[in-house]
Amino acid sequence: MRILTVGLGGAGCRIVDRLLAHDRKAHVHCVFGVAIDCDAEQLNSLQNVPVDQRLFFQPLDPSHPEDLAAHLPSEEALSRLQALDDGDIDALFVCAGLGGTLAATAPALVTCLKKSIAEPVFGLFSLPCRDEGDERSSSAADQLDTLHGLLEGILLYDNESWRGRVPPAADDPGISRQADLGALVGLRQSHPVPLSGRERFYHDYNDLISRRFTLLLRAGEFSERSPDDLPEVVLDAGEILNTILGMGFITMGYAREEVASERPIDLLSRFRPGTPAVQDGHLKASRVVELAKRAIFEEISTPTKLEEVQKALVLIAGPSHEMSMRGFMTVRKWIDRTIRGLELRSGDYPVSDTRFLGILIILAGMETLPRVEELRQARERVRGRGPDTPAHDPGT
Protein backbone atom coordinates (compact mmCIF):
# COMPACT_ATOMS: atom_id res chain seq x y z
CA MET A 1 0.00 0.00 0.00
CA ARG A 2 1.48 3.33 -1.08
CA ILE A 3 0.44 6.59 0.52
CA LEU A 4 0.92 10.33 0.44
CA THR A 5 1.33 12.05 3.80
CA VAL A 6 0.98 15.61 5.06
CA GLY A 7 2.59 16.51 8.36
CA LEU A 8 0.80 19.43 10.01
CA GLY A 9 2.51 21.22 12.91
CA GLY A 10 5.42 19.99 15.00
CA ALA A 11 3.97 16.60 15.98
CA GLY A 12 2.62 15.84 12.51
CA CYS A 13 5.86 16.83 10.77
CA ARG A 14 7.92 14.64 13.08
CA ILE A 15 5.65 11.65 12.45
CA VAL A 16 6.02 12.09 8.69
CA ASP A 17 9.78 12.46 9.12
CA ARG A 18 10.01 9.13 10.97
CA LEU A 19 7.66 7.44 8.47
CA LEU A 20 10.04 8.44 5.68
CA ALA A 21 13.04 7.28 7.73
CA HIS A 22 11.62 3.77 8.14
CA ASP A 23 10.27 3.65 4.61
CA ARG A 24 13.67 4.42 3.07
CA LYS A 25 15.22 1.43 4.84
CA ALA A 26 13.15 -0.94 2.68
CA HIS A 27 13.60 -1.87 -0.97
CA VAL A 28 10.04 -0.78 -1.74
CA HIS A 29 9.14 2.84 -0.99
CA CYS A 30 5.55 3.27 0.19
CA VAL A 31 5.56 6.74 1.80
CA PHE A 32 5.83 10.15 0.14
CA GLY A 33 4.90 13.45 1.69
CA VAL A 34 5.24 17.06 2.71
CA ALA A 35 5.59 18.89 6.02
CA ILE A 36 3.78 22.14 6.89
CA ASP A 37 4.62 24.31 9.88
CA CYS A 38 4.81 27.94 10.95
CA ASP A 39 7.89 27.14 13.07
CA ALA A 40 10.98 27.39 10.85
CA GLU A 41 13.22 25.79 13.49
CA GLN A 42 11.01 22.71 13.66
CA LEU A 43 11.03 22.35 9.87
CA ASN A 44 14.79 22.74 9.70
CA SER A 45 15.25 20.03 12.34
CA LEU A 46 13.62 17.36 10.15
CA GLN A 47 16.03 14.70 8.94
CA ASN A 48 14.20 12.87 6.17
CA VAL A 49 11.59 15.15 4.60
CA PRO A 50 13.24 16.66 1.48
CA VAL A 51 13.87 20.38 1.83
CA ASP A 52 11.72 21.16 -1.19
CA GLN A 53 8.80 19.36 0.48
CA ARG A 54 8.86 21.53 3.62
CA LEU A 55 6.33 24.37 3.58
CA PHE A 56 6.82 27.29 5.95
CA PHE A 57 4.15 29.92 6.45
CA GLN A 58 3.13 32.67 8.85
CA PRO A 59 0.13 35.04 8.83
CA LEU A 60 0.95 38.30 7.05
CA ASP A 61 -2.41 40.05 7.30
CA PRO A 62 -2.15 42.56 10.20
CA SER A 63 -5.94 42.53 10.63
CA HIS A 64 -6.05 38.75 11.22
CA PRO A 65 -2.70 37.80 12.81
CA GLU A 66 -4.14 34.67 14.50
CA ASP A 67 -6.03 33.30 11.51
CA LEU A 68 -3.69 30.43 10.60
CA ALA A 69 -6.28 28.56 8.54
CA ALA A 70 -6.66 31.52 6.16
CA HIS A 71 -2.91 31.59 5.51
CA LEU A 72 -2.33 27.82 5.38
CA PRO A 73 -0.57 26.98 2.08
CA SER A 74 -3.18 24.37 1.15
CA GLU A 75 -2.97 24.92 -2.59
CA GLU A 76 0.81 24.72 -2.54
CA ALA A 77 0.66 21.53 -0.50
CA LEU A 78 -1.83 20.10 -2.98
CA SER A 79 0.50 20.96 -5.86
CA ARG A 80 3.46 19.23 -4.16
CA LEU A 81 1.39 16.14 -3.41
CA GLN A 82 0.13 15.89 -6.98
CA ALA A 83 3.73 16.05 -8.19
CA LEU A 84 4.59 13.12 -5.88
CA ASP A 85 1.67 11.02 -7.12
CA ASP A 86 2.92 8.62 -9.80
CA GLY A 87 -0.52 7.16 -10.35
CA ASP A 88 0.07 4.25 -7.97
CA ILE A 89 -1.00 5.93 -4.70
CA ASP A 90 -3.70 4.21 -2.64
CA ALA A 91 -4.53 6.80 0.04
CA LEU A 92 -3.53 10.07 1.70
CA PHE A 93 -2.89 10.49 5.43
CA VAL A 94 -2.91 13.80 7.29
CA CYS A 95 -0.72 13.57 10.41
CA ALA A 96 -1.02 15.92 13.41
CA GLY A 97 -1.01 16.16 17.18
CA LEU A 98 -4.58 16.99 18.24
CA GLY A 99 -4.96 19.89 20.64
CA GLY A 100 -2.16 21.83 18.95
CA THR A 101 -2.59 25.18 17.25
CA LEU A 102 -1.98 23.96 13.71
CA ALA A 103 -4.21 20.91 14.17
CA ALA A 104 -7.10 23.39 14.19
CA THR A 105 -6.32 24.12 10.52
CA ALA A 106 -6.64 20.44 9.54
CA PRO A 107 -10.33 20.66 8.52
CA ALA A 108 -9.56 23.45 6.04
CA LEU A 109 -6.62 21.48 4.64
CA VAL A 110 -8.64 18.27 4.32
CA THR A 111 -11.49 20.10 2.57
CA CYS A 112 -9.03 21.56 0.04
CA LEU A 113 -7.30 18.22 -0.60
CA LYS A 114 -10.54 16.27 -1.09
CA LYS A 115 -11.63 18.61 -3.87
CA SER A 116 -8.74 17.55 -6.12
CA ILE A 117 -7.45 14.19 -4.85
CA ALA A 118 -9.38 11.08 -5.84
CA GLU A 119 -7.79 8.78 -3.25
CA PRO A 120 -9.43 8.43 0.18
CA VAL A 121 -8.12 10.80 2.87
CA PHE A 122 -7.44 9.47 6.39
CA GLY A 123 -6.06 10.95 9.57
CA LEU A 124 -3.18 9.70 11.73
CA PHE A 125 -3.45 11.69 14.96
CA SER A 126 -1.96 11.61 18.45
CA LEU A 127 -4.03 12.52 21.50
CA PRO A 128 -2.68 14.82 24.24
CA CYS A 129 -1.68 13.66 27.72
CA ARG A 130 -3.88 14.48 30.70
CA ASP A 131 -1.25 16.72 32.31
CA GLU A 132 -1.33 19.02 29.28
CA GLY A 133 -4.52 20.42 30.74
CA ASP A 134 -8.23 20.56 30.05
CA GLU A 135 -7.87 23.40 27.56
CA ARG A 136 -5.72 21.31 25.24
CA SER A 137 -7.95 18.27 25.71
CA SER A 138 -10.98 20.41 24.91
CA SER A 139 -9.34 21.68 21.72
CA ALA A 140 -8.47 18.10 20.76
CA ALA A 141 -12.12 17.06 21.26
CA ASP A 142 -13.35 19.89 19.05
CA GLN A 143 -10.82 19.09 16.33
CA LEU A 144 -11.60 15.38 16.47
CA ASP A 145 -15.35 15.88 16.21
CA THR A 146 -14.92 18.17 13.20
CA LEU A 147 -12.49 15.85 11.41
CA HIS A 148 -14.58 12.76 12.12
CA GLY A 149 -17.11 13.88 9.55
CA LEU A 150 -14.50 14.87 6.94
CA LEU A 151 -12.11 11.91 6.89
CA GLU A 152 -12.60 8.33 5.70
CA GLY A 153 -11.06 7.07 8.92
CA ILE A 154 -8.98 8.27 11.88
CA LEU A 155 -6.11 6.20 13.28
CA LEU A 156 -5.48 7.35 16.85
CA TYR A 157 -2.41 7.03 19.05
CA ASP A 158 -2.95 8.01 22.67
CA ASN A 159 0.06 9.72 24.25
CA GLU A 160 -1.30 9.12 27.75
CA SER A 161 -1.52 5.34 27.27
CA TRP A 162 2.08 5.15 26.08
CA ARG A 163 3.83 7.32 28.67
CA GLY A 164 6.62 5.37 30.33
CA ARG A 165 6.10 2.34 28.05
CA VAL A 166 7.81 3.29 24.80
CA PRO A 167 10.98 1.25 24.13
CA PRO A 168 14.05 3.25 23.05
CA ALA A 169 14.42 3.67 19.31
CA ALA A 170 17.58 2.45 17.61
CA ASP A 171 20.29 5.11 17.57
CA ASP A 172 20.17 7.29 14.50
CA PRO A 173 20.92 10.91 13.55
CA GLY A 174 17.57 12.02 14.94
CA ILE A 175 18.29 11.35 18.62
CA SER A 176 19.98 14.73 19.25
CA ARG A 177 19.00 18.26 18.38
CA GLN A 178 20.85 19.95 15.56
CA ALA A 179 23.80 22.11 16.49
CA ASP A 180 23.74 25.85 15.84
CA LEU A 181 24.56 27.46 12.50
CA GLY A 182 28.21 28.10 13.34
CA ALA A 183 28.80 24.39 13.93
CA LEU A 184 26.85 23.43 10.83
CA VAL A 185 28.99 25.57 8.51
CA GLY A 186 32.22 24.35 10.11
CA LEU A 187 33.24 27.44 12.05
CA ARG A 188 33.56 25.33 15.18
CA GLN A 189 33.17 21.70 16.16
CA SER A 190 29.63 20.43 16.40
CA HIS A 191 28.60 18.77 19.66
CA PRO A 192 25.28 16.91 19.70
CA VAL A 193 22.73 18.50 22.00
CA PRO A 194 21.16 15.76 24.17
CA LEU A 195 17.40 15.48 24.09
CA SER A 196 15.39 16.25 27.21
CA GLY A 197 13.31 13.48 28.76
CA ARG A 198 10.15 14.77 27.10
CA GLU A 199 11.86 15.16 23.71
CA ARG A 200 13.30 11.66 23.98
CA PHE A 201 9.86 10.22 24.73
CA TYR A 202 8.32 11.84 21.67
CA HIS A 203 11.23 10.80 19.45
CA ASP A 204 10.89 7.17 20.55
CA TYR A 205 7.09 7.40 20.39
CA ASN A 206 7.09 8.72 16.82
CA ASP A 207 9.55 5.99 15.90
CA LEU A 208 7.21 3.36 17.35
CA ILE A 209 4.22 4.75 15.41
CA SER A 210 6.19 4.84 12.18
CA ARG A 211 7.72 1.38 12.53
CA ARG A 212 4.30 -0.21 12.97
CA PHE A 213 2.59 1.77 10.26
CA THR A 214 5.26 1.13 7.62
CA LEU A 215 5.13 -2.61 8.42
CA LEU A 216 1.45 -2.57 7.46
CA LEU A 217 2.17 -0.64 4.26
CA ARG A 218 4.95 -3.00 3.15
CA ALA A 219 2.79 -6.05 3.81
CA GLY A 220 0.40 -4.82 1.15
CA GLU A 221 3.16 -4.69 -1.47
CA PHE A 222 3.45 -8.45 -1.84
CA SER A 223 4.21 -8.27 -5.59
CA GLU A 224 7.56 -6.62 -4.86
CA ARG A 225 8.92 -9.39 -2.62
CA SER A 226 11.52 -12.00 -3.41
CA PRO A 227 10.28 -15.54 -4.24
CA ASP A 228 11.39 -16.75 -0.79
CA ASP A 229 9.16 -14.19 0.98
CA LEU A 230 5.85 -14.74 -0.80
CA PRO A 231 2.84 -15.01 1.53
CA GLU A 232 0.46 -17.93 1.88
CA VAL A 233 -2.46 -15.56 2.55
CA VAL A 234 -2.16 -12.41 0.46
CA LEU A 235 -2.95 -9.09 2.14
CA ASP A 236 -2.94 -6.43 -0.55
CA ALA A 237 -3.71 -2.71 -0.42
CA GLY A 238 -7.36 -3.33 -1.28
CA GLU A 239 -7.81 -5.57 1.77
CA ILE A 240 -6.29 -2.92 4.05
CA LEU A 241 -8.46 -0.15 2.59
CA ASN A 242 -11.62 -2.26 2.81
CA THR A 243 -10.94 -2.68 6.54
CA ILE A 244 -10.52 1.01 7.37
CA LEU A 245 -12.46 2.90 4.67
CA GLY A 246 -15.42 4.76 6.15
CA MET A 247 -14.85 3.19 9.56
CA GLY A 248 -14.44 6.28 11.75
CA PHE A 249 -12.11 5.50 14.64
CA ILE A 250 -9.25 3.04 14.04
CA THR A 251 -6.71 1.57 16.44
CA MET A 252 -3.61 -0.49 15.75
CA GLY A 253 -2.06 -3.10 18.01
CA TYR A 254 1.31 -4.73 17.53
CA ALA A 255 3.42 -7.11 19.59
CA ARG A 256 6.59 -8.90 18.66
CA GLU A 257 9.04 -11.37 20.15
CA GLU A 258 12.60 -12.23 19.27
CA VAL A 259 13.00 -15.74 17.90
CA ALA A 260 16.07 -17.85 17.25
CA SER A 261 17.23 -18.11 13.66
CA GLU A 262 16.89 -21.52 12.06
CA ARG A 263 20.24 -23.22 11.55
CA PRO A 264 20.91 -26.10 9.11
CA ILE A 265 21.30 -28.49 12.06
CA ASP A 266 17.77 -27.53 13.19
CA LEU A 267 16.39 -28.62 9.83
CA LEU A 268 18.08 -32.02 10.16
CA SER A 269 16.79 -32.50 13.72
CA ARG A 270 13.21 -32.58 12.45
CA PHE A 271 13.83 -36.02 10.93
CA ARG A 272 15.53 -37.56 13.96
CA PRO A 273 13.46 -40.03 15.99
CA GLY A 274 12.30 -38.77 19.36
CA THR A 275 12.47 -35.08 18.56
CA PRO A 276 9.71 -32.97 20.19
CA ALA A 277 8.16 -31.93 16.86
CA VAL A 278 4.59 -31.96 18.24
CA GLN A 279 5.58 -29.91 21.27
CA ASP A 280 7.41 -27.40 19.11
CA GLY A 281 4.30 -26.89 17.02
CA HIS A 282 2.22 -26.26 20.14
CA LEU A 283 4.73 -23.79 21.53
CA LYS A 284 4.82 -21.84 18.28
CA ALA A 285 1.02 -21.75 18.16
CA SER A 286 0.86 -20.56 21.78
CA ARG A 287 3.36 -17.82 21.06
CA VAL A 288 1.21 -16.48 18.21
CA VAL A 289 -1.88 -16.43 20.46
CA GLU A 290 0.00 -14.67 23.27
CA LEU A 291 1.36 -12.05 20.86
CA ALA A 292 -2.17 -11.37 19.62
CA LYS A 293 -3.43 -10.91 23.19
CA ARG A 294 -0.59 -8.48 23.92
CA ALA A 295 -1.31 -6.57 20.72
CA ILE A 296 -4.97 -6.06 21.66
CA PHE A 297 -4.78 -5.58 25.43
CA GLU A 298 -1.34 -4.05 26.04
CA GLU A 299 0.30 -2.75 22.86
CA ILE A 300 -2.73 -1.05 21.30
CA SER A 301 -2.42 2.49 19.92
CA THR A 302 -5.56 3.60 21.78
CA PRO A 303 -7.40 1.18 24.09
CA THR A 304 -10.79 -0.10 22.98
CA LYS A 305 -13.19 -2.94 23.69
CA LEU A 306 -13.01 -5.79 21.20
CA GLU A 307 -16.77 -6.26 21.42
CA GLU A 308 -17.32 -2.77 19.94
CA VAL A 309 -15.20 -3.37 16.82
CA GLN A 310 -16.95 -3.42 13.44
CA LYS A 311 -14.04 -4.66 11.26
CA ALA A 312 -10.66 -6.22 12.01
CA LEU A 313 -7.48 -7.17 10.21
CA VAL A 314 -4.78 -9.56 11.45
CA LEU A 315 -1.25 -9.70 10.03
CA ILE A 316 1.50 -12.07 11.10
CA ALA A 317 5.05 -11.11 10.11
CA GLY A 318 8.43 -12.70 10.57
CA PRO A 319 10.46 -15.76 9.53
CA SER A 320 8.20 -18.24 7.76
CA HIS A 321 9.48 -21.20 9.81
CA GLU A 322 8.30 -19.46 13.02
CA MET A 323 4.79 -18.72 11.76
CA SER A 324 2.25 -21.13 13.17
CA MET A 325 -0.82 -21.32 10.96
CA ARG A 326 -2.59 -23.20 13.75
CA GLY A 327 -1.96 -20.33 16.14
CA PHE A 328 -2.87 -17.83 13.45
CA MET A 329 -6.21 -19.51 12.75
CA THR A 330 -6.93 -19.66 16.49
CA VAL A 331 -6.44 -15.89 16.69
CA ARG A 332 -8.68 -15.38 13.67
CA LYS A 333 -11.50 -17.44 15.20
CA TRP A 334 -11.19 -15.68 18.56
CA ILE A 335 -11.40 -12.19 17.05
CA ASP A 336 -14.12 -13.19 14.57
CA ARG A 337 -16.33 -14.52 17.37
CA THR A 338 -15.76 -11.48 19.60
CA ILE A 339 -16.15 -8.41 17.39
CA ARG A 340 -19.68 -7.14 16.73
CA GLY A 341 -19.11 -6.89 12.99
CA LEU A 342 -18.83 -9.66 10.43
CA GLU A 343 -15.69 -8.66 8.50
CA LEU A 344 -12.27 -10.02 9.42
CA ARG A 345 -9.33 -9.96 7.02
CA SER A 346 -5.93 -11.50 7.50
CA GLY A 347 -2.61 -12.17 5.85
CA ASP A 348 0.97 -13.21 6.45
CA TYR A 349 4.17 -11.31 5.68
CA PRO A 350 7.18 -13.65 5.51
CA VAL A 351 10.48 -11.85 6.16
CA SER A 352 13.55 -14.07 5.95
CA ASP A 353 16.11 -11.55 7.23
CA THR A 354 14.53 -10.69 10.60
CA ARG A 355 14.88 -12.18 14.06
CA PHE A 356 11.42 -11.07 15.23
CA LEU A 357 7.98 -12.59 14.94
CA GLY A 358 5.16 -10.07 15.21
CA ILE A 359 1.38 -9.80 15.15
CA LEU A 360 -0.25 -6.59 13.92
CA ILE A 361 -3.98 -6.09 14.43
CA ILE A 362 -6.20 -3.33 13.04
CA LEU A 363 -9.51 -2.66 14.82
CA ALA A 364 -11.96 -0.30 13.10
CA GLY A 365 -15.49 1.00 13.22
CA MET A 366 -15.85 1.79 16.93
CA GLU A 367 -18.47 4.45 17.60
CA THR A 368 -16.26 5.98 20.28
CA LEU A 369 -13.22 5.22 22.47
CA PRO A 370 -12.67 5.65 26.23
CA ARG A 371 -9.97 8.28 25.69
CA VAL A 372 -12.14 10.18 23.21
CA GLU A 373 -14.85 10.34 25.85
CA GLU A 374 -12.29 11.67 28.35
CA LEU A 375 -11.44 14.49 25.96
CA ARG A 376 -15.12 15.33 25.57
CA GLN A 377 -15.58 15.36 29.34
CA ALA A 378 -12.66 17.77 29.62
CA ARG A 379 -14.40 19.98 27.08
CA GLU A 380 -17.55 19.99 29.20
CA ARG A 381 -15.50 21.03 32.23
CA VAL A 382 -13.96 23.90 30.29
CA ARG A 383 -17.37 25.05 29.05
CA GLY A 384 -18.80 24.72 32.54
CA ARG A 385 -16.11 26.93 34.04
CA GLY A 386 -16.58 29.71 31.52
CA PRO A 387 -13.82 32.02 30.27
CA ASP A 388 -13.37 33.89 33.55
CA THR A 389 -13.38 30.92 35.92
CA PRO A 390 -9.91 29.75 37.02
CA ALA A 391 -9.01 26.14 36.30
CA HIS A 392 -9.06 23.74 39.22
CA ASP A 393 -5.63 23.12 40.70
CA PRO A 394 -5.18 19.34 40.96
CA GLY A 395 -2.72 19.90 43.81
CA THR A 396 -5.33 21.47 46.11
Say how many domains are in the chain: 2
Is 226 within the bounds of a domain?
A: no
Mean pLDDT value across residues 171-184: 44
Question: How far is 328 from 288, CA to CA, in rounded Å?
Answer: 6
Check residue 234 and give its pLDDT. Answer: 75
* Domain match, 50 and 197 both: yes
Answer for the pair 34, 80: CB distance below 8 angstroms, yes or no. yes
Would the pLDDT of 365 be above 70? yes
Is 190 within the bounds of a domain?
A: yes
Check residue 351 and give its pLDDT. Answer: 84
Question: How far is 318 from 78, CA to CA, in rounded Å?
Answer: 37
pLDDT (tens digit per residue) in 318-359: 988 899 999 999 999 999 999 999 899 999 888 887 889 999
* CB neighbour list of residue 200: distance below 8 Å, 6 or more residues apart: 175
Mean pLDDT value across residues 6-28: 93
**CA distances to 328, 381, 392 from 395, in Å:** 48, 17, 9
* CB neighbour list of residue 124: distance below 8 Å, 6 or more residues apart: 5, 15, 93, 94, 95, 155, 157, 209, 213
* Domain match, 34 and 154 both: yes
Name which of 78, 324, 83, 93 is nearest 216 in CA terms.
93
* Domain match, 190 and 279 both: no
Question: How far is 278 from 270, CA to CA, in rounded Å?
Answer: 10
* Domain match, 304 and 171 both: no
* Domain match, 190 and 301 both: no
Is 199 within the bounds of a domain?
A: yes
Is 345 within the bounds of a domain?
A: yes
* Domain match, 189 and 254 both: no
CATH code, 340: 3.30.1330.20
Full residue range of the structural domain in which residue 38 is found: 3-219
Question: How far is 74 from 108, CA to CA, in rounded Å?
Answer: 8
* Domain match, 314 and 366 both: yes
Tell me the one-letter amino acid at 300.
Answer: I
Would the pLDDT of 145 be above 70? yes
**CA distances to 252, 261, 347 from 210, in Å:** 12, 26, 20
Is 230 within the bounds of a domain?
A: no
pLDDT band with cut points at 50, 70 and 90 for residue 18? very high
* Domain match, 280 and 342 both: yes
pLDDT (tens digit per residue) in 280-303: 889 999 999 999 999 999 999 999
Do strands 153-158 and 176-177 pair parallel, antiparallel, or not at all (unpaired)?
Answer: unpaired
Of the two residues 33 and 171, the one the predictor is more confident about is: 33
Is 390 within the bounds of a domain?
A: no
Check residue 133 and give its pLDDT. Answer: 93
pLDDT band with cut points at 50, 70 and 90 for residue 269? low
Q: Tell me the whole-structure pTM to 2 decimals.
A: 0.86
DSSP β-bridge partners for residue 31: 3
pLDDT band with cut points at 50, 70 and 90 for residue 232? confident
* CA–CA–CA angle 71, 89, 148 (5° rounding): 55
* Domain match, 20 and 147 both: yes
pLDDT band with cut points at 50, 70 and 90 for residue 180? very low
Is 394 within the bounds of a domain?
A: no
* Domain match, 282 and 213 both: no
Q: What is the mean pLDDT of the chain?
A: 85
Is 132 strand, coil or helix? helix
Check residue 272 and give its pLDDT. Answer: 55
Of the two residues 260 and 264, the one the predictor is more confident about is: 260
Tell me the one-letter amino acid at 166.
Answer: V
Is 186 within the bounds of a domain?
A: yes
* Domain match, 259 and 353 both: yes
Would the pLDDT of 83 be above 50? yes
SS3 sequence of 54-110: EEECCCCCCCCCCCHHHHCCHHHHHHHHHHHCCCCCCEEEEEEECCCCHHHHHHHHH
* Domain match, 175 and 290 both: no
**CA distances to 247, 253, 384 from 312, in Å:** 11, 11, 38
Check residue 242 and give its pLDDT. Answer: 95
CATH code, 113: 3.40.50.1440
